[in-house]
Structure formats: structure tokens, C-alpha cells
């Protein structure tokens, strides 16, 4: 049986990161729909599962590979976006962003230092702010 499956899978694409993601999404939607009981969601889950199997058994390895690459690219972009947001949110707690009144250059100033004189690094304009 195992041998037959191996032979069947020969030359076929199999699973990749994208399939795992789709499968995960299908499971999440399925669990979610236990509470929502939304008919259309069931169809969506079914379509997702069919698509996962279609990719798994596909002989067009190159096309599937490209799909996976595209997925990884988008995923990477989303993750780096959130990492940047998270870093900036943490930064806002310790620093305050001021805009130079002259050239609008953004300047990061540590918080909690009272009234301070800021010199714009770009145009050398000096202005006073409370940090």
C-alpha cells in the first residue's frame, strides 16, 4: 500500500509551505464555522481542501513551485511589516517623534527629559519641546 502510494506520488508535487498554510487556514475556518455555522464558509473550506489536494497531486511541479515562492514572498513582506510596526510601537514608549518646524524632518527624542532644546540634524533649526 505504502509502495503504491510512493509510486503514485512519483513526479507529483507533494506538499510545501503554501499547502501547509492553506490546510491551516481550512482547519481554522472549519473550527470557526462550528460557532458561526455559515454555509458559505463550508464551501470555502471544501474549495481550499480540493485546491490543496490538487496542488499535492499536480504534475506541473514548476508552476506549483512558483506559487510557493510567491506565497513565501508575500508572507515575508507581511511578517517584516508587522515586525517593523512592533518595533516602532516599542520605540514610541521610549522616544517621542517631533517634526522640525522648518523642514519637517522627523526627529526622535527620548521621553521624560522635561523641556529640551532640539537641533534639527538636517537644517540646524533649533526649537524647544517638552519630551
Contacts to Zn ion by CB under 5 A: 100, 102-103, 105, 120, 122-123, 125
**CB closer to Zn ion, 11 vs 121:** 121
- Whose Cβ is closer to Zn ion: residue 48's or residue 120's? 120
User: Min. distance of Cβ 121 from Zn ion in angstroms?
Assistant: 8
Residue 128 CB, nearest approach to Zn ion (Å): 14
When the beta carbons of 86 and 122 are compared against Zn ion, the nearer one is 122
Q: Cα–Cα–Cα angle for 131, 83, 89, nearest 5°? A: 20
Shortest CB 125 distance to Zn ion, Å: 5
Amino acid at each position: 500500500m505504502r509502495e503504491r502510494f510512493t509510486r503514485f506520488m512519483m513526479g507529483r508535487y507533494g506538499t510545501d509551505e503554501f499547502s501547509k498554510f492553506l490546510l491551516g487556514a481550512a482547519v481554522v475556518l472549519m473550527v470557526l464555522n462550528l460557532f458561526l455555522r455559515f454555509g458559505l464558509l463550508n464551501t470555502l473550506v471544501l474549495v481550499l481542501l480540493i485546491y490543496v489536494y490538487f496542488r499535492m497531486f499536480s504534475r506541473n511541479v514548476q508552476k506549483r513551485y512558483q506559487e510557493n515562492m510567491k506565497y513565501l514572498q508575500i508572507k515575508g513582506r507581511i511578517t517584516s511589516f508587522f515586525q517593523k510596526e512592533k518595533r516602532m510601537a516599542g520605540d514610541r514608549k521610549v522616544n517621542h517623534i517631533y517634526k522640525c518646524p522648518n523642514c519637517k524632518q522627523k526627529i526622535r527624542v527620548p521621553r521624560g527629559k522635561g523641556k529640551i532644546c532640539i537641533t534639527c540634524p538636517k537644517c540646524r533649526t533649533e526649537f524647544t519641546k517638552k519630551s
